[in-house]
Amino acid sequence: MTNSTTSRTGRVVINETVDGVAAAAPAATGRKISRSRVPSRQKPDSYIWGIYIMLLMVSVVELFSASSTEVSASNVYMPLIRHGVFLIIGLGCVIGLQNTHYVFFSRFSVFLAMVSLALLIISNFFGIEINGAQRAISVAGFTIQPAEIVKLTVVILLSTILGKTQLPRGVSNSGVILSAVVVIVFGACLWKNGLTNTILLFGVSISMFLIGGMSMKKLGIVIGIYAVFGGGLFLLKYQDDKVDELDKITKNEMTVSQGAGAGSDGRAQTHKGRISRFLEGVSPDDEIDDYNRQVIFSNIAQANGGIFGQGPGNSRESARLPLAFSDYIYSIIVEDTGLVGGIFLLMMYLLLLARAGSIAYKCKRAFPAFLIMGCAVLIVFQALVHMAIVTGLFPVSGQPLPLISKGGTSIIVMSCAIGIMLSVSRFAVTSGSSKDISEELTHLPEDMQAENFSGYQKNRQNPD
């Protein structure tokens, strides 16, 4: 049961009763809410840790197998050493963030989102080219890909917005509008870094809306807005009668990939060329050229893997497959470990999502539930998109396999997402203890105290 009284300042103070014991939220009397360090109520989730360690093990073995083209006679282990350094940095991020109370992320969500957006805009205009796209910033000899950072910061920002606007029957109208605006703004800036990133961001946001119990009517409106945005983008950038012929499109893509420039027109033509070739498909009898090389050698690698694979480190196609260590590493994993290994890795990602869903379902507050599910959906969606591209279900595009593909920015960002999930598993109240509920309310701002109506309330009404 939930009761409310009004303080002298006119604000509503929520008093909750759990198992007959009252747990009162602090009244807004003008005093600052205590921000003392919150003691851990439980250990970080062992299942999430186990999945994370398993992915790191796969990453080390398969990155070395897929990096044969980078191995030099002078230092055979250099690719593995570089990758290992980023994995260690990522591990440090996980350990640090799991010990940080999840409320920290809501306080800095707007700041983090604005910084990542600024970096993204800088990369769009002044960044260096990678694989034909102007998507990275060079800092002190290191390259930073802001698109990877943006995806996580948008998840944190959306979790904050939805956590503040959660209602018993879903998300408020203001929450829906603000969330849609955020996604469209960031999606528009992400487009030049990769069309797949924009689509991925839209998919993650829609999933979070569904998790929040948004009504089908509101969800339909949001999807309609996304469709209008996509249609406008198509008309502005893709509808060009002068480049309808495939040979012109591919010629421009070759020019871009060789570093002649990656302007907006070039990226539009690149996207059109990839979609056209995807719809046409490839045949075993096709002559191998610069445009079907990745697809053909990826298919050969997967076929060579069979059921049980050739064994870790015995990949044959990694020497011929472009970007085998990043955009196409899943094909090397299948070649090394076969269909069995490919399915096992898929199950690891799906189990991560299932575990996050189990924790979110038990969360007392809406914000931590959104936060852990948003991070899990981001990781798993990106993994599924990578696998779909490699297996030929989606057009060719550059999406790293989370926590496995080579790429410092991606590894660190995805490690941060794991750390945030562990933070929620450690500090969010998932029981009906009145003491824990009262303590959590003490450390949450008033506008972040919305209940998780989609999960916890059902648990309380239907206890095991």
Question: Bigger pLDDT: 330 or 125?
Answer: 330
pLDDT at 119: 92
Q: pLDDT digit string (tens) for 106-143?
A: 999 999 999 999 999 988 888 776 665 557 887 777 78
Nearest to 400 by CA among 326, 298, 315: 326
pLDDT at 315: 86
Question: Bigger pLDDT: 155 or 263?
Answer: 155
The mean predicted confidence, pLDDT, of the chain is 79
- Token pair 């959906």 is found at 377
Residue 11 CB contacts under 8 Å (≥ 6 apart), including other chains: 27, 28, 446
| pTM for the model | 0.83
pLDDT at 204: 94
| Range scoring the smallest mean pLDDT among 86-100, 113-127, 129-143, 370-384 | 129-143
CA distance 459 to 464: 8
pLDDT interval class at 287 (50, 70, 90): confident
In terms of average pLDDT, the best of 37-51, 124-138, 268-282, 364-378 is 364-378
Q: Is the pLDDT assigned to residue 428 strictly greater than 60?
A: yes
CB 13 within 8 A of CB 7: yes
Nearest to 65 by CA among 302, 331, 362, 413: 331
